[in-house]
Each structure stands twice: as C-alpha cells, then as structure tokens.
C-alpha cells in the first residue's frame, strides 16, 4: 500500500478517483489517520448523486459516521491500479537488494523510480508522469 503522503501528492497532482469495489481509502481528517477503509457493497458503497459522490457506510451502527463526501476521502491506489495508470510508459518492475525499481519510457526518455515497496515505486513513477503532464 502506498503512503498517505504519496497518496496526497498524487491527488494534488491531478489524480482523480472514481470509487469502485475493492478500492482502499482513508478519511482525510486527522482523527482518522490510522484507519483504512475498503469500498465494498456490503460495508462502504459509493453513491452517485447530482451533487457528487458520497461514500455510504452501510450497517455501521457502532459508528456516528453514515457517509463522507468523496472529496473528504483519500484514495490509496493498489499496485495494479498504479501500474495500469502508467499505461504505455511502463517498462519494468525489478526487485533489488534495497527494494523495487520501476522503469518508464516517457517520450523516448528512460526514467527509473525506486522505493522499499513496489506500490510506492509505482506511485513515485505516476507522480512524475502527472507532474510532466501538468507542466
């Protein structure tokens, strides 16, 4: 799983989330820092309204939280989602003695991104792509 800090950087760089079953997220408030939720039709379901998307907490009678606006949630994309978002730029993922290295080919320019976890390396690579697109 990627770090909260990297998830915020990806969001701020323009990564948008359309909640789907299996997606993990945090409520972007300090009192929920250690809580990770998973979208599931059984417990947390995305409800689409004309005013936006709301994440409804179904069957959570022990909570005072019924729903949260998707803008107050922080998506924690999975490794496969990050790799898919890199699309054709993705070249390889390699395990090293120190972690993982993701290689990209962006307009003929080879770039590498490393981290202790594969999802974090993918996230750093995606952040670079998003930053390049917005520049």
pLDDT tens, residue by residue, 9-61: 999 999 999 988 889 999 888 777 788 988 876 667 788 888 888 887 766 54
Reported as a pLDDT band with limits 50, 70 and 90, residue 69 is: confident
Are 53 and 45 in contact by the 8 Å Cβ rule? The answer is: no
pLDDT of 101: 98
As a dihedral over the C-alpha atoms of residue 115, residue 116, residue 117, residue 118, rounded to 10 degrees, the angle is 40
Query: 22: closest CA among 47, 52, 49, 43?
Result: 43
Residue-averaged pLDDT of the chain: 87
Per-residue pLDDT tens digits for 19-33: 888 899 998 887 777
pLDDT of 40: 73
pLDDT of 33: 76
The distance in angstroms from the start CA to the end CA of the chain is: 27
Gap between the Cα atoms of 108 and 104, Å rounded = 9
pTM of full prediction above 0.85: no
- List phi, psi (to 5°) of 93: -125, 125
Reported as a pLDDT band with limits 50, 70 and 90, residue 65 is: low
When comparing pLDDT for 112 and 88, which is higher?
Answer: 112
When comparing pLDDT for 96 and 106, which is higher?
Answer: 96
Exposure b/e, 42-51, CB count within 10 A at least 16 = b:
eebbbeeeee
């Amino acid at each position: 799983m990627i770090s909260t800090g990297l998830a915020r950087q990806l969001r701020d760089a323009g990564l948008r989330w359309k909640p789907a079953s299996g997606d993990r997220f945090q409520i972007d408030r300090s009192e929920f820092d250690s809580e990770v939720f998973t979208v599931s039709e059984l417990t947390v379901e995305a409800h689409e309204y004309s005013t936006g998307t709301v994440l409804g907490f179904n069957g959570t009678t022990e909570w005072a939280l019924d729903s949260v606006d998707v803008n107050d949630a922080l998506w924690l994309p999975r490794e496969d989602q990050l790799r898919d978002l890199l699309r054709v730029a993705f070249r390889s993922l390699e395990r090293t003695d120190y972690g993982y290295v993701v290689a990209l080919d962006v307009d003929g320019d080879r770039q590498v991104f490393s981290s202790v976890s594969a999802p974090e390396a993918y996230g750093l690579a995606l952040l670079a792509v998003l930053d390049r697109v917005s520049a």
